[in-house]
Amino acid sequence: MLFEHEIAWENDRVYEEVYRNSIDFPNEFWMQYAQDIEWKRIPNLAYDNEKKEWLSGGISNVCYNCVDRHADKIPEKAAIIWYGDEYGERREISYAKLQKMVIQISSILKGRGIKKNDVVGIYMPMIPEAIASMLACARIGAIHLVVFAGFSPEALKYRLTTSNAKALLTINSFRRGGKEIELAKNIPNELGIDIINLDNIQYHKNVIPDIDWQNSDDDLFILYTSGSSGKPKGVLHSALPYMLYVATTFKVIFGIQPDDVYFCTSDIGWITGHSYITYAPLFHGLTTVIFSGSPTYPEADRYWQIIEQEKVSIFYTAPTAIRSLQMFNKKIIKKHDLSSLRVLGTVGEPINKSAWKWYFETVGNKKCPIMDTWWQTETGGIILAPLRNINQKPGIAGKPFFGIETDIIEGELVIKNEFPGLYKAIVSECATADNALYKTGDGAVYEGSDIKIKGRMDDVINISGHRLGTAEFECAINKISEVQESAVVAVSDDLKGQTAFAFVVLTVTPERDDFAQIVKKIVSSTRNSIGSIAKPDYISFVPDLPKTRSGKIVRKLLRDIANGAENLPELHSVINSEVIDVLKVSVKNPIFCPDMCKLK
Ligand code: PRX
């Protein structure tokens, strides 16, 4: 069943043939790709049904595969190229240098008593040291827990305490969008764990801690993401099965070549930054370009300038970024030579037709396929993508990856079989993954033989590709003394894809002027609980929320009302239906708070 990875994801006939084989002979399929991993002991088989374990019996190390083996063979090649906030701020980290950084950080961790299976938090911006910190954990078998640098002290603390972290790696500050962001100041004092500030550390030369060889199924990292509950959940991924899945999807779907220069604009605080900034590109010995600045500072050409300067061949970004850059004058993009681009990708949210068209025509000059990749924190790597040719249909994520059996049950996309990328457990809820049928929470439909994603069906909201739980907003809002209860729903937004709309019931009827105060409190409470990315853009103060006999808020109805749906379904389950007309009027004139983010 040998085939060239470059062509497997290009035409329908080849795709069908390889896909069938991968489903009929999963062991052969995955074992073929497991050969890309350098093993200390080769696994016996791809999936052990009895143990429910991938790559069972295998021994290797993820960091060894991403760094050390390349440091031997291609020491001078750039592993990471970093761009900072100002034009001209650039650092190039070769594989040899990256190995040195990783060894230094892992020996600091060992020196502080960190052992295999200890959880180590990483609270850092997009700098090479952040990636080196992740790899340093992987090297010694510690479990990394990256917390997005935009999350608040409270959100950071919740993640560190519920995962039982032993230490936190951080730096003092960084610059983004022309502003100094004092990161270390965000770290709560009373955490009671070892804070390791890499700015204040003395590195020692010549420290060579050994690689901790791991069983395939040992743990690699925890990453928190939002679900339907009021608290984010800690998703745990295992080491080598995850590595196999992200390395294989990357290789096949993007059709990588050894000299590709790859630029992904995500952040290590999200799963894309784990899978397709850090692990997959470095595993394959490519150059991964990272950027810690803002795409529009000092000018809105930062991505284009980096693509031109580095001759980037694969560019992977989010629909929100595309939509926001599309709004700027054409001249900004036209002054840059983007002819090095071969493949474009998007991830994180549905891409609308106009953004797709602009990406295809203006960025890719009609010669680059757009890989609209659908996946999740829980799946570790890409599940759906269109074939890599330029006859694509906008907004259709397309085909399941090899070895993945998808279905649509009651409108929801599900995965019916085991695959190596699926998370192992939810640490904060003590739950293990159910491999039998994984329900994605996303609505989907078939369009011919392709799958089109419609968006979340549960209480997860996707603001600019940032996944947040409506219940997390509600918990933050309900903390305010004047608030009796609240319900937050997603409404569509031209730029952000979705945004949060809060219906709020107050305990008192405030004076007119006091509303502004309450709005301020709501915005600062969501920002304190979650982070700067989270605030409701619309607030509507209402006398009551629609409820069922058992007291459950009927969110579907609120979602329809907030989105201005004309014909609301008859909902006999709502006991206080008289409130519906009041709600319909109130959403026509909500309090709009786009600039509230400037509030302290
Ligand atoms: O709703 C889907 C949306 O993002 C959710 C997963 O969010 P997260 O775990 O943060 O991972 C994002 C990066 C992989 C999904 O449930 N989503 C992701 N990619 C797409 C998408 N929606 C539509 N099209 C996509 N390509």
Q: Are residues 398 and 469 in the same domain?
A: no
- Picking from 456, 471, 487, the residue at the C-terminal end of a domain is 456
Is 596 a residue whose pLDDT tops 60? Answer: no
- Picking from 404, 425, 456, the residue at the C-terminal end of a domain is 456
Residues 98-138 pLDDT 10s: 999 999 999 999 999 999 999 999 999 999 999 999 999 99
Residues 40-82 pLDDT 10s: 999 999 999 999 999 999 999 999 999 999 999 999 999 999 9
Q: Are residues 428 and 503 in the same domain?
A: no
Check pocket membership of 280 for ligand 1, CB cut-off 6 A.
Answer: no
Q: Are residues 244 and 273 in the same domain?
A: yes
Number of domains in the chain: 2
This model's pTM is above 0.85: yes
Residues 207-248 pLDDT 10s: 767 899 999 999 999 999 998 888 999 999 999 999 999 999
Q: Are residues 469 and 398 in the same domain?
A: no
CA of 74 to the centre of ligand 1 (A): 34
CATH of the domain at 36: 3.40.50.12780
Is 599 a residue whose pLDDT tops 90? Answer: no
Q: Which amino acid is located at 360 in the chain?
A: F
Q: Are residues 428 and 530 in the same domain?
A: no
Q: Are residues 472 and 358 in the same domain?
A: no
Per-residue pLDDT, 1: 37
Alpha carbon nearest to ligand 1 atom 15, residue: 376
Q: Are residues 275 and 417 in the same domain?
A: yes
Task: Report whether 485 contacts 545 (CB < 8 A).
Answer: yes
- Indicate the pLDDT class of residue 2, thresholds 50, 70 and 90: very low
Ligand 1 pocket test: pick from 223, 277, 351, 375 the residue with the most ligand atoms within 8 Å of its Cβ.
375
Residues 485-531 pLDDT 10s: 999 999 999 999 999 999 999 998 888 778 889 999 999 999 999 99
Q: Are residues 421 and 479 in the same domain?
A: no
Q: Are residues 452 and 524 in the same domain?
A: no
Q: Which amino acid is located at 285 in the chain?
A: G
3-state secondary structure of 30: helix
Bigger pLDDT: 539 vs 391: 539
Task: For residue 559, give its domain range.
Answer: 461-599
| DSSP notation for 41-92 | B--S-SEETTTTEETTT-EE-HHIIIIIHHHHH-TTSEEEEEE-SSTT-EEE
- Picking from 456, 476, 502, the residue at the C-terminal end of a domain is 456
What is the chain's percent helix, strand, coil content, to nearest 5? 30, 25, 40
Portion of the chain with pLDDT greater than 70, in percent: 97
CATH of the domain at 472: 3.30.300.30
Q: Are residues 248 and 216 in the same domain?
A: yes
Per-residue pLDDT, 206: 62
Per-residue pLDDT, 533: 85
Bigger pLDDT: 203 vs 236: 236
Per-residue pLDDT, 594: 62
In eight-state DSSP terms, residue 204 is P
Q: Are residues 424 and 477 in the same domain?
A: no
Residue holding tokens 């049904």?
A: 49
Check pocket membership of 538 for ligand 1, CB cut-off 6 A.
Answer: no
CA of 131 to the centre of ligand 1 (A): 22
Q: Enumerate residues 6+ apart whose C-beta is below 8 A from 231.
A: 158, 162, 428, 472, 475
Per-residue pLDDT, 184: 95
Q: Are residues 479 and 407 in the same domain?
A: no
The pair of structure tokens assigned to 95 is: 């594989």
